[in-house]
Amino acid sequence: MNSTRWRLLAVSLSFMGWLASCSLLGGEASPEPLFSVPATFPQPTYDLSKNPITSDGVALGKQLFFDGILSRDGSISCGECHNQSHAFTHHGHGFSHGIDNQEGTRNAPPLINLAWQDSFFWDGGVFDLDLFSIAPIENPLEMDDKIGNVLQKLRTSKEYPKLFKKAYGTEEITTERFLKALSQFMLTLVSANSKYDQFLAGKAQLTADETAGLQLFKDKGCAKCHSGALFTDHSFRSNGLLPEYTGDLGRYRITENDADKNKFKVPTLRNIEVTYPYMHDARFFNLEAVLKFYAEGVKETGSLDPLLKQNGRLGIPMTADEQQKIIAFLKTLTDQEFLTNPRFAAP
């Protein structure tokens, strides 16, 4: 009885091993899907039916993303200011240097989980990912070209007509095809495998400090704006920053509604450890400065979010120790697999 059991187990184990090795050797393991909705995420906002994601579409989008041909003088690609190792922000830059070394006016936001975002830029001025890429390409401080001219350059290039044919069936290069290929690549930039995600799936343990930080993150109200699996509610809020550095009034620029002055989009906190510096104007270089600001630096901006002035006190009361623990938790949102996945790497 006992020995039969052991034999059965041995047989089934070796069978499993054979299956595994076979699939590995045969290369028939189902490839990582191009795009999938992580179990803890809601349904995407982006309408995938209008732009079905294909491997050739993503490959084209990736090629475009990392190609300086999208800029006036060929010097600036999307990847110039959106580096994978920093969750597609500009590694350590407050403001990115665009064409002719000109400096932009806002901190480059991360490109992660864009399929769940319903507006783009710190002020939400663009409402469709497919329309997004026109802005940096035509911004005189960034890539300073014209979409029409970029398409013309692609049409006369050696390789792009072939890549468009692979992705779309014909060599025709249109605005729609161009923008949707870029979207396809950007949509695949899904980050959902941080230590915290592994903890939720029962595959990792949080340290005592991280656990305490997670609890504080909820108790102190951080999670009210940085909510859900995406760590943002996509709203526009004033978090107590006066426009003293760049004069940027945020959402007001789009709505021209006084109540929106000093409001900016709540950013995701996923991979926050590597997306420094912080805030739209990059005024804080590390997370310690950010937490300290929320504890003692919040100012009345005229539109300050009510969550940041509870009981007649500005900001969120937090001790230095509590701030450290929240930071420990925030660092569990770093997704090493995403930051190093060769699928997203510059060619």
Partner 1 sequence: MKKSFLFSALMALTVSFIFVSCTKEEEIGPNDKNSLSIEFDNYVGGEKLVLGSKSYKNSLGEDFTVSTLNYFVSNFSLKKADGTEVKFPNQYFLIRQADTKTLTVTLPDVPAGDYTSMSYMIGVDSLKSISDVAQRTGVLDPASYGTDNMYWSWNSGYIFFKMEGISSAATTATKLFQFHIGGFGGRTSVTANNLRTVTTSFGTTTAQVRKNIAPTVHVVTDVLQTFSQGTSIAKTSVMMNPAASKPFADGYAKMFKVEHIHNDKM
**Rounded to the nearest 5°, which phi and psi values hold at 115?**
-65, -15
- What percentage of the chain's residues is helix, strand, coil (to nearest 5)? 45, 5, 50
CA distance 139 to 183: 19
Binding mask 45-64 for partner 1 (x = CB under 8 A): -----x--------------
Coil, strand, or helix at residue 278? strand
Interface with partner 1 (CB under 8 A), residue from 79, 109, 110, 124:
124
**Is 130 an interacting residue with respect to partner 1 (CB under 8 A)?**
yes
Does 155 participate in binding partner 1 (rule CB under 8 A)? no
- Rounded distance between C-alpha atoms, residue 225 and residue 234, angstroms: 8
**Known binder of ligand: residue 90?**
no
- Selected range binding partner 1 among 33-41, 129-137, 221-229, 284-292, rule: CB under 8 A: 129-137
Instruction: Give the nearest distance from C-beta 169 to partner 1 in angstroms.
Output: 15
How far is residue 90's CA from residue 82's CA, in Å, rounded to a whole number? 5
Q: Which one of 62, 72, 180, 261 is in contact with partner 1 (CB under 8 A)?
A: 180
What residue has token string 């290929």?
A: 181
Report which of 269, 262, 266 is spatially closest to residue 238, judged by C-alpha positions. 262
311/314 Cα distance (integer angstroms): 9
Does the annotation place 22 within a ligand binding site? no
DSSP character for 303? S
Q: Which C-beta is closer to partner 1: that of 211 or that of 235?
A: 235
Please say which residue, 177 or 325, places its beta carbon nearer to partner 1: 177
Buried b (16+ CB within 10 A) or exposed e, 34-43: bbeeeeebee
Residues 232-291 that bind partner 1 (CB under 8 A): 251, 253-257, 260
| Binding to partner 1 in span 63-122, by CB under 8 A | 118-119, 121
Distances in whole angstroms, Cα of residue 104 to Cα of each of 52, 100, 155: 33, 11, 29
Among 131, 307, 345, 346, binds partner 1 (CB under 8 A): 131
Query: Rounded to the nearest whole angstrom, what is the least distance from the CB of residue 131 to partner 1 in the complex?
Result: 5
Tell me which of 7, 146, 162, 203 binds partner 1, using CB under 8 A. 146
Q: How far is the CB of 136 from partner 1 (least distance, A)?
A: 8
User: Pairing between strand 309-310 and 264-265?
Assistant: unpaired
Who contacts 208 (Cβ-Cβ below 8 Å, separation ≥6)? none
Q: Which of 26, 27, 31, 148 binds partner 1 (CB under 8 A)?
A: 148
Among 34, 69, 138, 161, binds partner 1 (CB under 8 A): 138
Among 37, 48, 69, 134, binds partner 1 (CB under 8 A): 134
Q: Determine whether the annotation assigns residue 234 to a binding site.
A: no
E-assigned strands of the chain?
A: 236-237, 264-265, 309-310, 313-314
Q: Which is nearer to partner 1, 106 or 220 (CB)?
A: 106
Annotated binding site for heme c, which residues? 78, 81-82, 222, 225-226
Enumerate binding residues for partner 1 (CB under 8 A): 50, 118-119, 121, 124-128, 130-131, 134-135, 137-139, 146-151, 174-176, 179-180, 251, 253-257, 260
